[in-house]
Amino acid sequence: MGPIISKAPGKIILLGEHSVVYDKLGIATAIGKYTSVKVFPNKRNSIKIISRNYSIEKEMSKYEIFNTVEKITNFQEEGKIDKVKKLFKGSGLLPSFVTVGKIMELYDFKGLRVEIDSKVPKNLGSSSSVFNAIAKGVSTFLDLELSKKEIGFFANEGDKVVHGTPSGIDAYTIANGRWITYRKSEGITPLETEFKAPLLIVESGEPAKTGEMVEYAKKQKQENPSFVEPILEDLEQISQESLKAIRSHDYNSLGKAMVNFYRELKKLKISTKKLDDIVETAIKNNSYAKPTGGWGGGCCIVLLKEDQIDNLKKIYEEKGYKVYKTELGVGGTKIGS
C-alpha cells in the first residue's frame, strides 16, 4: 500500500493588510504554489517527521508528543507565548508535531512517518500550507473525515507555535481554498465564487517587517488620528469595491482596487523604494500590483493577463527580482498529488 498524499496551497492577503487590525474588511485567496505531504505507517509506533526542504528529521514517542502538546497548551493558556517561541527556535519541526499531536489527542494515536516537501515561498502562507497538508494527510490516515473548518483549526494550532496569536486567516484560507473575507469582529467567511486569474509574485529582496510596520502604523494612528482614520475608511471602501469585482469576475476593477489600496496605504510610509518600483513597473506595463503582507519589504503581487506573463516576468528578472508565476483563486487542501 502506498502513502497517503495530501496537498495544500499557499495564500495571499489580496486586500486589507494593516486595516484589518482596526476591524476593516480583509480579502484573502489561495494561490497555486503547494506543499505536498506523504504519510506512511511507522512500525515503531512513533511519529517521525521529515522536512525535505530543510533536510531535518525528528522522531517522538506517543508519550513525548502528548507531553509536548500539553506543555505548549499550558504555556499558551498562561499567556507565556515567549516560552512557546523559545521551544520553537530549538526545534523547527515542533509546530508540525503539535499539529499531529492535537489531532491524535482528540481521536487516535497511530505510528506514522510524515514527509514534507513545500514549494510555497516564505511570506505566502508557507507554514500554514505545511500544517494544512499535515492535518489533511494525518486525519485521512486515521480514517477521519474532517471538515475544511476542522482542518483549518488544526493547521492554526501549528501556526500558534510559529506566530503566537495568529488570526487564522492563513490556515482557514488554505483549508477552504478560493476566496475568503475577514473582519476582526466577524471572523472568516468563505466567498462563493470561482474567479481565477494569473498572478506574478515578485520578491523585493528585502525581508518583510510585519510586526514593526504594524506597530509603526499603530503609533501614527495614536499620534495623528485625524490623518490615519480617513485613510482606514478609504481602505475599507476600496476593499468593498474589490469584493464586488471578485464576485462579478471583473479583472480590471479588481486591478484598479489593488493599485488604489497601495496608493492609500502608502501614505502611512510603510512602503520601500523596491516595493514602489515593482508596483510602478507593473503599471507602466498595463498591469496591476500592490505589496502583500506586512510591507516594509517582502513581496508584491502582480495581476496581469495571460499574454503579459512572460514579458513582464522577464522585465522583473532583468531588474534583479525573483519572480514566481502562479494563479489566484485555486482550490484548498486536499488528498491527491
* In a domain? residue 205: yes
For 56-70, the pLDDT digits (tens) are: 999 999 999 999 999
Cell numbers found for residue 198: 494569473
- 132, 174 contact by CB (below 8 A): yes
Q: What is the DSSP letter of 21?
A: G
Nearest residue to 200 (alpha-carbon basis) of 337, 314, 35, 320: 314
Is 89 exposed, middle or buried, given 0-12, 13-18 or 19+ CB atoms closer than 10 A? exposed
171 and 222 in a single domain? The answer is no
CB 68 within 8 A of CB 100: no
Residues 180 and 227 placed together within one structural domain of the fold: no
Residue 227 resides in a domain? yes
Asked if residue 214 belongs to a domain, the reply is yes
Distances (CA, A) of 255 to 83, 169, 195, 283, 323: 42, 22, 13, 10, 19
Residue 166 has pLDDT above 90, yes or no: no
* 248 three-state secondary structure: coil
- Average pLDDT, integer, range 310-334: 96
The answer to whether residues 251 and 305 belong to one domain is yes
User: What is the per-residue pLDDT across 202-235, written as a single tens digit (0 to 9) for each?
Assistant: 999 998 888 788 889 999 999 999 999 999 999 9
Residue 85 CB burial class (10 angstroms; 0-12, 13-18, ≥19): middle
Q: Which residues pair with 177 in a beta bridge?
A: 331
Residues 157 and 56 in one domain: yes
DSSP-assigned letters across all residues of 316-328: HHHTT-EEEEEEE
pLDDT in tens, 239-265: 999 999 999 999 999 999 999 999 999
Residue 320's pLDDT is 97
Which of 54-58, 87-91, 156-160, 268-272 has the lowest average pLDDT?
87-91
Q: Which of 194, 213, 235 is the last residue of a domain?
A: 194
Boundary (domain end) residue, out of 135, 165, 194: 194
* 156 and 249 part of one domain: no
| In-domain check, residue 304 | yes
For the chain, give the percent of residues with pLDDT over 90: 84
Q: Are residues 223 and 284 in the same domain?
A: yes
CB distance 50 to 57 below 8 Å: yes
Same domain, 82 and 127: yes
pLDDT for res 1? 61
336 in a domain, yes or no? Answer: no
Strand pairing partners for 30? 11
- In this structure, is residue 334 part of a structural domain? no
For range 295-318, the mean pLDDT: 95
Q: Clarify whether residues 148 and 33 are in a common domain.
A: yes
CATH code, domain with 214: 3.30.70.890
Domain of 176, in residue numbers:
4-194
- What's the rounded mean pLDDT across residues 88-104? 92
Give, in degrees to the nearest 5, the angle at Cα 248 between 243 and 253: 65
Counted domains in the chain: 2
The whole-angstrom separation of Cα 14 and Cα 291 is: 9
DSSP states along 69-112: HHHHHHHHHTT-HHHHHHHHHH-TTHHHHHHHHHHHHHS----E
E strand segments, the chain: 4-15, 26-41, 47-51, 56-60, 112-118, 179-183, 187-191, 197-203, 288-292, 299-303, 322-328, 334-335
Q: CATH no. for residue 45?
A: 3.30.230.10
The mean pLDDT value for 119-148 works out to: 95
> Are residues 145 and 210 located together in one domain of the fold?
no
Structural domain ending residue among the three candidates 169, 194, 219: 194
Residues 172 and 317 in one domain: no
Residue 146 within any structural domain of the chain: yes
